[in-house]
């Protein structure tokens, strides 16, 4: 080393002990916790707490205006023997399965159609979203008029075409009523499925289709071997949501039929509302709502396991 003496730097300020505040500022986990707090508080107050309260209520005989006693499973025992409850379970399953299946079919078809090159593509894509934008109650009211026993435009048209003699009692006949509410739900739910699947389709690289064309695939084979497998993760997500929304549907039914005629369109959600709020039996209504939980969990599990299997999506692990 050179023999130039470096002038010693002025004594630096003594390094002080980190205060608690310093630690909080520099500990990323602690900081992360605080960033997470608002969201967590929201979830706890507006989701977890009501859910817990609902389950608790279902174990009590609470009525509106009276704090209930803990009665364990008595509400559920009552429901077990309640034919209307079982009818609502059947209705809900029918409603969910039929509506979801048709929504998937039409939604996929529309998505494939909108993914093609055609004139006015942007406008058509926007138009597909309209049913989704209209508030549910408004569209339910419109359907109410469309299916009205006296003023139904469908009955009117068919009568003027000479196809029927009398108005069809759309919302008064159990079978027709079921068909009508399912139809209304499908009309409302298709855009969500279609647009989400369309987004999924657009992530498929066009060169895969070109490669498949050269490999000799027909249009159907391309769908079967390329489009469909690549779309399955998105199908699983969108159908889980669609099933959850349909299973818990309330607005459409309540606005169109209020569960009638003779409970033919009562879903678990509408029955729960009727028993808990209209009839004031909060405990029993809560038990009906809580009875939906196993079904919803089952739907989530199906898609969860459906999503897990796809090894090709997983990262670059060279196993």
Partner 1 sequence: MSSVHIRDVRKSFGTFEVLHGVTVPIEDGEFVVLVGPSGCGKSTLLRMLAGLENITSGTISIGDRVVNNVQPKERDIAMVFQNYALYPHMTVRDNMGFSLKLRGAKSEEIDTGVKRAAEILALTPLLERYPRQLSGGQRQRVAMGRAIVRDPQVFLFDEPLSNLDAKLRVAMRTEIKELHQRLRTTTVYVTHDQIEAMTMADKIVVMHDGIVEQMGSPLELYDRPENQFVAGFIGSPAMNFLKGKIKVNGSASFEGPNGVKLPLKTAPANSDGKPVVYGVRPEHFTIADDGAEAEIVVVEPTGSETQVFAKIGGEQVVAVFRERHQFSPGDKVRLKPDPSLVHLFDETTGKRLNS
Using the rule CB under 8 A, is 316 a contact of partner 1?
yes
Residue with tokens 């809900």: 92
Using the rule CB under 8 A, is 22 a contact of partner 1?
no
Of 226, 268, 282, 286, the one binding partner 1 by CB under 8 A = 226
Stretch that binds partner 1, among 6-14, 107-115, 175-183, 204-212 (CB under 8 A): 204-212
Using the rule CB under 8 A, is 203 a contact of partner 1?
no
Beta bridge partners of 129: none
C-alpha triplet 80, 56, 92: angle, nearest 5°: 45
Q: How far is the CB of 232 from partner 1 (least distance, A)?
A: 8
Using the rule CB under 8 A, is 314 a contact of partner 1?
yes
Q: How many CB atoms lie within 10 A of CB 210?
A: 10
Q: Which of residues 206-225 bind partner 1 (CB under 8 A)?
A: 207-208, 210-217, 221, 225
Q: How far is the CB of 312 from partner 1 (least distance, A)?
A: 4
Using the rule CB under 8 A, is 311 a contact of partner 1?
yes
Site string for partner 1, 155-194 (x = CB under 8 A): ----------------------------------------
Q: By three-state DSSP, how is residue 70 classified?
A: strand
Among residues 88, 95, 60, 85, which one has the least CA distance to residue 180?
95
φ, ψ for residue 66 (rounded to 5)? -145, 125
CB neighbour burial string for 28-41, b if at least 16 within 10 angstroms, e if fewer: eeeeeeeeeeeeee
Using the rule CB under 8 A, is 317 a contact of partner 1?
yes
Asked, as a colleague might, if the bond just before 277 is cis with ω within 30 of 0, I would say no
| Binding positions for partner 1, rule: CB under 8 A | 205, 207-208, 210-217, 221, 225-226, 229-230, 310-319
């Amino acid at each position: 080393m050179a023999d130039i003496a470096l002038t010693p730097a002025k004594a630096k300020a003594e390094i002080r002990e980190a205060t608690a505040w310093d630690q909080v500022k520099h500990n990323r986990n602690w900081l992360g916790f605080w960033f997470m707090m608002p969201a967590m508080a929201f979830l706890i107050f507006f989701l977890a707490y009501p859910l817990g309260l609902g389950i608790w209520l279902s174990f009590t005989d609470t009525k509106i205006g009276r704090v209930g006693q803990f009665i364990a499973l008595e509400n559920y025992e009552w429901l077990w023997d309640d034919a209307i409850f079982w009818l609502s379970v059947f209705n809900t399953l029918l409603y969910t399965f039929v509506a979801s299946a048709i929504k998937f079919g039409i939604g996929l078809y529309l998505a494939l159609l909108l993914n093609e090159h055609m004139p006015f593509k942007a406008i058509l894509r926007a138009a597909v979203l309209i049913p989704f934008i209209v508030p549910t109650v408004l569209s339910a009211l419109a359907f109410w008029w469309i299916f009205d026993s006296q003023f139904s435009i469908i009955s009117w048209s068919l009568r003027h075409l000479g196809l029927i003699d009398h108005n069809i009692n759309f919302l008064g006949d159990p079978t027709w009523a079921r068909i009508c509410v399912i139809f209304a739900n499908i009309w409302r739910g298709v855009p969500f499925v279609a647009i989400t699947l369309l987004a999924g389709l657009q992530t498929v690289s066009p060169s895969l289709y070109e490669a498949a064309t050269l490999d000799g695939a027909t249009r159907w084979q391309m769908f079967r071997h390329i489009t469909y497998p690549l779309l399955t993760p998105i199908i699983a997500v969108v159908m889980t949501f669609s099933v959850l929304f349909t299973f818990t549907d309330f607005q459409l039914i309540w606005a169109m039929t209020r569960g009638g005629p003779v409970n033919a369109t009562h879903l678990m959600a509408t029955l729960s509302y009727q028993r808990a709020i209209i009839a004031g039996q909060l405990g029993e209504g809560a038990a009906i709502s809580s009875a939906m939980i196993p079904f919803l969990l089952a739907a989530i599990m199906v898609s969860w396991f459906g999503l897990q299997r796809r090894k090709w999506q997983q990262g670059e692990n060279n196993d």
